[in-house]
Amino acid sequence: MSVQTAGKLATAMEITPTLRSEFQTAKGETEFQIDGTSVNTRNAEGKAEWREMKLFAFLKRRCGASASVFDWESRYLPEPSMVYAFAEIADKMEFQKRVGAVRRQLGVGGVTSALGDGAKWIWNIVFEEFGKTDECLDFYHAAEHLSDCGKVLLSTQDTFDSWFDRMRLVLLSEGFSGIDRELQSLGSGLTQTQRTSVESLRSYFCSNAARLNYAERLMKGRSIGSGLIEGACKSMVGKRLKQTGACWQVPRLNRMTVICAIRYSSHWKKYWKQAK
């Protein structure tokens, strides 16, 4: 029943002539978010294996008020006025084709900004589909990397908290140049484990140096986090498809994600009526 419903929903989304105009007339800038999460599947031999489910969302969002780096946690960011979400287990090329198909369906030439974590496949798709755009490394992922390194460097909670708060502010204010300066200043008195952690952190930020323009984005009232797609990983996929003991055949799983994605988008009521 669910597979049949998913097929009807997918068809409805593909042939509805008003979807393009609805997205185009929605208020705000065009934003693209992309991520991946692991789901337990069963392969052709019947063995369980974890596969990466890739997700993306096109959304329209108005800019919020200009904010400083000191206000990043308390500022008001408007909710999206329109969301189109999609998810499937596919290789990078197949998934990119889906991104391109949805982009054309919605009439999106380019996007104002693209947000994701540090995975290379994410930024490859963003560049190949949209060309040069305002890419932003999800700040919460960046902060997690800072935290992991800080826990290796510092032995007490108080010193860690102080260091972490300061490093987040440096990252927000100065991007890679500030982080690089702070890491270089740690000196030579580190253990091998600490040095490895610092080098790994620096490499991570160096490879994303052009995506750390948080202060500018805050000033323009734009998002610095891919919270919407992170939420999709947890609620759209996690709650329904990653329940304890669940193990999916990939074709059936991809059909189920059609329902989950439309439920997470702005079109549920309309397309659910058509699928009944």
Could you tell me the CATH number of the domain that includes residue 121? Answer: 3.30.420
Tell me: the pLDDT tens digits for 123-170?
A: 999 999 999 999 999 999 999 999 999 999 999 999 999 999 999 999
Is pLDDT at 50 greater than 80 in this prediction?
yes
Q: How far apart are the first and last CA of the chain?
A: 11
- Report the 3 state secondary structure along 62-79: CCCCCCCHHHCCCCCCCC
Task: Let me know whether 90 and 167 are in one domain.
Answer: no
CA–CA dist 3, 253 (Å, integer): 9
Task: Let me know whether 146 and 178 are in one domain.
Answer: yes
Is pLDDT at 15 greater than 60 in this prediction?
no
Q: Is residue 49 part of a domain?
A: yes
10 Å Cβ neighbour count for 94? 11
Task: Let me know whether 125 and 170 are in one domain.
Answer: no
Task: Let me know whether 145 and 268 are in one domain.
Answer: no
| Local confidence band at 264 (pLDDT 50, 70, 90 cut-offs) | confident
Task: Let me know whether 63 and 93 are in one domain.
Answer: yes
Is pLDDT at 276 greater than 60 in this prediction?
no
CA–CA dist 194, 189 (Å, integer): 9
Q: What is the pLDDT at residue 91?
A: 94
Closest CA relative to residue 109, chosen from 184, 4, 30? 30
Task: Let me know whether 15 and 125 are in one domain.
Answer: yes
**pTM of this structure:** 0.89
By CB atoms closer than 10 A (0-12, 13-18, 19+), residue 14 is: exposed
Locate tokens 């979807």: which residue?
Answer: 19
> Are residues 97 and 81 in contact, defined by beta-carbon separation less than 8 angstroms?
no
Task: Let me know whether 10 and 106 are in one domain.
Answer: yes
Q: What is the pLDDT at residue 5?
A: 61
Mean pLDDT calculated for residue range 206-216: 97
Q: Using the 8-state DSSP alphabet, how is residue 80 labeled?
A: P
10 Å Cβ neighbour count for 76? 9
Helices first, then strands: H and E counts in the chain? 13, 6
Q: What is the pLDDT at residue 6?
A: 60
Task: Let me know whether 64 and 113 are in one domain.
Answer: yes
Type of residue numbered 77: L
Type of residue numbered 150: G
- Which domain does 14 fall in, by range? 2-68+76-137+225-275
Task: Let me know whether 187 and 230 are in one domain.
Answer: no
Which one of 160, 186, 211 terminates a domain?
211
Tokens of 190: 């580190």
Task: Let me know whether 59 and 161 are in one domain.
Answer: no
CA–CA dist 201, 242 (Å, integer): 30
Q: What is the pLDDT at residue 178?
A: 98
Mean pLDDT calculated for residue range 62-70: 96
> Are residues 35 and 55 in contact, defined by beta-carbon separation less than 8 angstroms?
yes
Q: Is residue 216 part of a domain?
A: no
